[in-house]
Structure 1
Amino acid sequence: MLSALPTRLSQRLVVPVVCVSVTFIAIVDGAITTVALPSIARQFRLTTAALDGVVVVYPVCLAMTIPASAWLVERFGGKRVLLTALAGFLGSSLLCGAATGLGQLVAYRAVQGVSAGVLFPASTALLFGTFSSAEQIRMSRYMIIPQQIAPAAAPVLGGLMVDHLSWRWVFYVNLPVGLPAVLFGALFLAGGRGRRPGPFDRPGLLLSAGALGSGMFGLCEGPNRGWSSPAVVSSLVLGAVLLAATVAVELRRAHPLLRLRLFSDRLFRDTNLINLVGLVPIMGTLYLTPLFLQQAQGRSALESGLTTFPEAFGVLLTVQVAGALYARVGPRVIVGSGLVGVTAVLLVLATCTADTGLWTVRVYMFLFGAAIGCFFVPTTVASLATIDRKDLPQATMLNTVVRQTGGALAPAAVTTVLVLGTPQAAAASPPLPAYQHAYVALAAIAAATAAFAFTMPDRPARIAAGNSPDTGTADRVPRSGRRRTRVGS
């Protein structure tokens, strides 16, 4: 009886439901953990600084695992890899909540990171492999909802659980959403069997994992330990050396773990570069504004969360418009205009003082969200517009690497500007001009990215989305890039 169930539901429904659940769980977990750190420190009788490993081990292990995700999806199929990674993530979440000491908690967070490193690319590959380019735009307009609601709601949810239940519930909270998703996916998700992607590239994995892990450690620890710290300098230098070695080795292999030749496609290359640099002012603002509200204005954590929350509503509003205009206008104009809007809002935020009212900041954050709503969907969809279906796992994996790196660069850049603008006598609390200078620095990065965005070739993306103006051979989408809807991984 159960064997007949998967055929009763369309994969156009099943895949988005599973992917939304995965996205929501992963984003909430990443945003909610920091709320519990003071409570964890009190129970384990440690300082909050001593829990640094709990925070850092997750992105480091995530980055080290991502390179293997594409090969796993190609070899075993999207369903099997996704559900296995999700089960591992949920199991490690349960173990994190039951941890009796710091060592156990760090170890279980490492397993969470390893699982998440496979979870993100597998989920994205499954989603984009199920829908055509035109359908991807419509789907992305709905997929952005959990991506925006989750990080906005996580701190509030985490605070309530820590105050009224226990810090352990910030990990247990993954189970009520994740377990039904595993069961639903096991019953209804189409079972792609995978294919033979070639021999596993062990040198590529060792080099890329070492490069990404070392680089991520340096970026995460640089603001805390100082950029001149021997551990930070060593990890960044090692990461750079291993990255160069990775590129040299992978370009010479017949079956590389990282298909770096995909970057020879200009649209794929340009959109990933825009993502890498453009995420710095976007994620940097979301990191900086709560600090400004709580440290420069003396607001409470709840006031801070409620003030930054309107950003999510701005995104949800604009992303619908951007999705509707994508095929007619093209990602170049939408992304470039959005980044111009980001630049303008950041310059306005730079004028805020200790006396600026909360509702004023809320309006600014709503406008900021409206601007970045033009960024996420067009860059993601356009990056895969000319990619052959068989290369989707590799392309989504490389996209994930780029986004994770951009996300790590953001707080590192913000903290560095704040430290440089803070006299040593007031090291515990940056002065108001330091925050203003940080907003200006982020605005400069956004402006430079906007200028570059207006140069990217978007005609292939418009064609793939269903708009077919007269095209020259230079911009024509390859036949393999015009993907028909077909379920499977």
Structure 2
Amino acid sequence: MCVSVTFIAIVDGAITTVALPSIAAQFGLTTAALDGVVVVYPVCLAMAIPASAWLVERFGGKRVLLTALTAFLGSSLLCGAAASLSELVAFRALQGLSAGVLFPASTALLYATFNSAEQVRVARYMIVPQQIAPAAAPILGGLLVDHLSWRWVFYVNLPVGLPAVLFGTLCLAAHRGHRPPRFDLPGLLLSAAALGTTMFGVCEGPNRGWTSTVVITALALGTVLLAVAVIHQLRATAPLLKLRLFANRLFRDTNLINLVGLVPMLGAMFLGPLFLQQGLGRTALESGTSTFPEAFGVLLTVQVVGVLYARVGPRIIVGCGLAGVSLVLLLFSTCDQHTGLWTFRAYMFLLGLFMGGVFMPTTVASLATVDRKDLAQASTLNTVVRQTGGALAPVMVTTALVLNTPAAAAANPPITAYQHAYLALAALAAVTAVFAFTLPDAQARAAASTPTASNRPTTRVRRGARTG
């Protein structure tokens, strides 16, 4: 269930870009005019995330998950049937709002079902959609657009999502939830406005330019709103986002690693296609098949990490993983116009091998010492942090390219600009690796190796099965 939800939500966020030229042709517009179709999704996703924890606590994980998934599928159908650009943007916004609830709700339900020792094994399965989805999205989108139409990049969610809805309705055990404190409406408005405005500025920066009035205004306003939202959440007796969870050092440090560490890893995934297509003049298909090996590297490492987690602990695994990422990014910085595709593919595979040592351990460790009643809140905060890290990745890449490209060649950065961008990502990964080696992981290791009655699963699937 959670695997299907994660897969379609990630694919939907990445696949739309491939269809933009066809959508532009359909509505008689330029591709640049369709910027709202892409930007509205992460903006609305960020705005919906803060409310997800309260919804799960109030109505239960099953009900919230199935409602959000049904809304997501319905909005996918509406996007595919859109008759105008305004309709498409509106329905795309509904998709983003639904996805903003889907991610934390599915994570909260999953980790409430399994204890700490089982979560390590579960994470090995959850990493599959997280890696395959973004790698497969460009290839799948190209096939759908070329052989069917752009509308199928939205319709494709239905054959995956509808069986998940049916399975969840019939097999997931009901989880009624409880009556949480009064809904923090000011907290929602402040958090949604802060995250949405900041995400808009970050997403629009590469397109409009970081010195444009719109981008500067959005980032400045987002920063002010974010500061006000944090002050409100810390003072409120029943905050929408329980920021006090960051007082837990393991939770705080793993989230900091996720925030900063995701930037070089996802930045490399963003930079790779640019280097291949713009720098080397390769085709989109060659680019897609050359970046895909990263997913195989991650999936391979995760299986090993799942076995070593309880014995070694997340500190050593994450630290070594980030150090390896830094070394591979240094290899990427040596790539030039003479670099062959198979060399690039080998580097991508190595990158995936080390990335696999970061994703799963940080996720499991972040929740290892969190009280079970706070799992929904912790999952929501995790989602906020990861979405922010994911948005910052292209920001760093774009900034590095701009700083190393002459103004006269802004539309076509030289090879050296890509090399310097890889060096910047390598430096950030190295700094994060040093911090990761200070992670206090004794409790996380103990929780994974010795399940206790207090962390036994409380939410079960009917007929004795479990959610997954």
1:203 to 2:186 alignment: yes
1:485 to 451, 457, 468: 457
Is contact 2:3-2:125 (8 Å) kept? no
Amino acid at match of 1:337: C
CA distance in 2, matches of 1:142, 1:194: 26
- Structure 1 regions of 5+ residues with no counterpart? 1-17, 469-478
Equivalent in the alignment of 2:82: 99
SS in 1 for 2:455: coil
Is contact 2:172-2:460 (8 Å) kept? no
1:190, distance to aligned residue in structure 2 (A): 0.8
Amino acid at match of 1:299: R
Amino acid at match of 1:60: V
SS in 2 for 1:465: helix
Amino acid at match of 2:60: G
- Structure 2 regions of 5+ residues with no counterpart? 462-468
Equivalent in the alignment of 2:164: 181
1:162, distance to aligned residue in structure 2 (A): 0.4
Deviation track 1:21-63 (CA, whole Å, cap 9, x = no partner) reads 1011111111211100011111111111111100000000000
Equivalent in the alignment of 2:297: 314
Deviation track 1:399-442 (CA, whole Å, cap 9, x = no partner) reads 00000000000011101111121112112111100000000000
1:246, distance to aligned residue in structure 2 (A): 1.1
1:79, distance to aligned residue in structure 2 (A): 0.5
Equivalent in the alignment of 1:32: 15
Is contact 1:327-1:467 (8 Å) kept? no
CA distance in 1, matches of 2:78, 2:177: 31
CA distance in 2, matches of 1:26, 1:82: 13
Is contact 2:80-2:154 (8 Å) kept? yes
Which residues of 2 match residues 125-204 of structure 1 at below 5 A? 125-204=108-187
1:228 to 178, 201, 211: 211
Equivalent in the alignment of 1:4: none
Amino acid at match of 2:63: R
1:401 to 2:384 alignment: yes
Is contact 1:328-1:467 (8 Å) kept? no
Runs of 4+ with deviation above 4 angstroms: none
Amino acid at match of 2:195: L
Amino acid at match of 2:457: T
Deviation track 1:190-231 (CA, whole Å, cap 9, x = no partner) reads 111110111000110011111100110111011111111111
CA distance in 1, matches of 2:396, 2:26: 32
RMSD of aligned Cα (Å): 1.2
2:352 to 350, 361, 369: 369
1:91, distance to aligned residue in structure 2 (A): 0.4
Structure 1 pair 488/207, CA: closer, same or farther in 2 (3 Å)?
farther
TM-score (norm 1): 0.93
SS in 1 for 2:369: coil
1:430 to 2:402 alignment: no
Equivalent in the alignment of 1:42: 25
1:467, distance to aligned residue in structure 2 (A): 5.2
Which residues of 2 match residues 335-346 of structure 1 at below 5 A? 335-346=318-329
CA distance in 2, matches of 1:461, 1:101: 51
2:236 to 253, 269, 279: 253
Is contact 1:155-1:305 (8 Å) kept? yes
Equivalent in the alignment of 1:83: 66
Amino acid at match of 1:367: L
CA distance in 1, matches of 2:293, 2:205: 31
1:324 to 2:307 alignment: yes
1:303, distance to aligned residue in structure 2 (A): 0.5
Equivalent in the alignment of 1:7: none
CA distance in 1, matches of 2:136, 2:450: 37
2:6 to 23, 26, 30: 23
Equivalent in the alignment of 1:280: 263
CA distance in 1, matches of 2:313, 2:177: 34
1:354 to 2:306 alignment: no
Equivalent in the alignment of 2:40: 57
TM-score (norm 2): 0.97
Amino acid at match of 2:137: A
Is contact 2:56-2:64 (8 Å) kept? yes
Equivalent in the alignment of 1:379: 362
Is contact 2:326-2:426 (8 Å) kept? yes
Amino acid at match of 2:432: T
Equivalent in the alignment of 1:74: 57
1:301 to 2:273 alignment: no
Amino acid at match of 2:92: R
CA distance in 2, matches of 1:151, 1:213: 23
Say how many residue pairs are matched.
461
CA distance in 2, matches of 1:35, 1:54: 12
Is contact 1:388-1:483 (8 Å) kept? no
> What is the percent sequence identity of the aligned residues?
74
CA distance in 1, matches of 2:85, 2:148: 20
